[in-house]
Amino acid sequence: MATQAQQPPKLDLAELTAEQFINIWKQFDADGNGYIEGKELERFFKELETARQGAGVDPSHAAFKEKMKDFMANIDKNADGRIEMSELAQILPTEENFLLCFREFVGSSSQFMAAWRRYDTDRSGYIESNELEGFLSDLLMRANRHYDQKKMNDYTKTILRMFDLNGDGKLGLSEMARLLPNDENFVVKFQGIKLTVKEFESLFKFYDKDGNGHIDEQELEALLKDLCDKKKMDVDSTGLGDYKKSIMALSDGGKLYRAELEIVLCRDSAL
């Protein structure tokens, strides 16, 4: 039996540091798949209710289940039945709420992608962990936010722990894009329709009619519309325009090369 010193800390609703937030996340995301779900979710909500009420609660009681259902309706923004790290950040009073500070001040996915392009120099879909602090600083400066060196060090260490799950020192675009607000996160929206290499090559070749290895903004719009129609994605013209603008932030002088588009539509998530 575990000793008292080995027991995980109880969920506390006092203000958390970024480090404490990550420790709580790892405590409840027991299988490390990036979500609190199933039995993990029930255990989390039980401890959350205990922390709020100062007493034990009974998960088998109908009132508990109803309260948990209402809780998820408010928190689970994408209605997938599980809690993501960014959703948890909205529940727990994290110090300066480091995750939400990115969501609040990074105004658009095109800002994010422009910063990403600067650091993913080999167009691999990853940035190295030693470039992360520069990337985060760049992102916040674009949003006219500035933090001292100590705070940036803390943010960098914490976000590295969040996203470099296999410890290889690389952070993927699809993982880092979770810093974006849900309605701006076109990278995550496209995660559900990731293309195989063969599908991507066929699609890109169709729109790169002269075979020069790049497409322009108008061709990208047609490609995205075609893709959304084929995959039955319900995207209006405004949303499509936003996706196009964000992806074009990766382009070189209006020329979107195969490698840039492949990062968004084809590269698998590191998770």
Cα 263 to chain centroid, rounded: 15
Within-domain flag for 5: no
Question: Is residue 270 a contact partner of residue 175, using CB atoms and an 8 Å limit?
Answer: yes
From the list 107, 106, 81, 76, the residue with the least C-alpha distance to 91 is 76
* Number of compact structural domains in the chain: 3
Residue after which a domain boundary falls, among 182, 213, 246: 182
Question: Is 9 among the domain residues?
Answer: no
Token duo for residue 183: 């309605």
The domain in which residue 120 lies consists of 97-182
User: How many of the other CB atoms lie within 10 Å of CB of 119?
Assistant: 18
Which amino acid, residue 72?
Answer: M
User: Residues 51, 19: one domain?
Assistant: yes
Last residue of a domain, one of 30, 58, 90: 90
Instruction: Work out the number of other CB atoms within 10 angstroms of the CB of residue 44.
Output: 22
Tell whether 177 and 105 lie within a shared domain.
yes
Per-residue pLDDT of 84-141, as tens digits, reads: 876 787 777 665 556 666 666 565 778 788 888 888 888 888 888 888 888 888 877 7
Residue 8 lies in a domain: no
CA distance 164 to 176: 10
User: CA-to-CA distance for 201 and 171, rounded, in angstroms?
Assistant: 25
Q: Is residue 19 part of a domain?
A: yes
CATH of the domain at 129: 1.10.238.10
**243 and 211 in a common domain:** yes
3-class secondary structure, 126: strand
- Express each pLDDT in 40-96 by its tens digit: 988 888 888 887 776 667 778 888 888 888 888 888 877 888 888 767 877 776 655
The model carries a pTM of: 0.58
Residue 86's nearest CA partner among 102, 107, 108, 63 is: 102
123 in a structural domain: yes
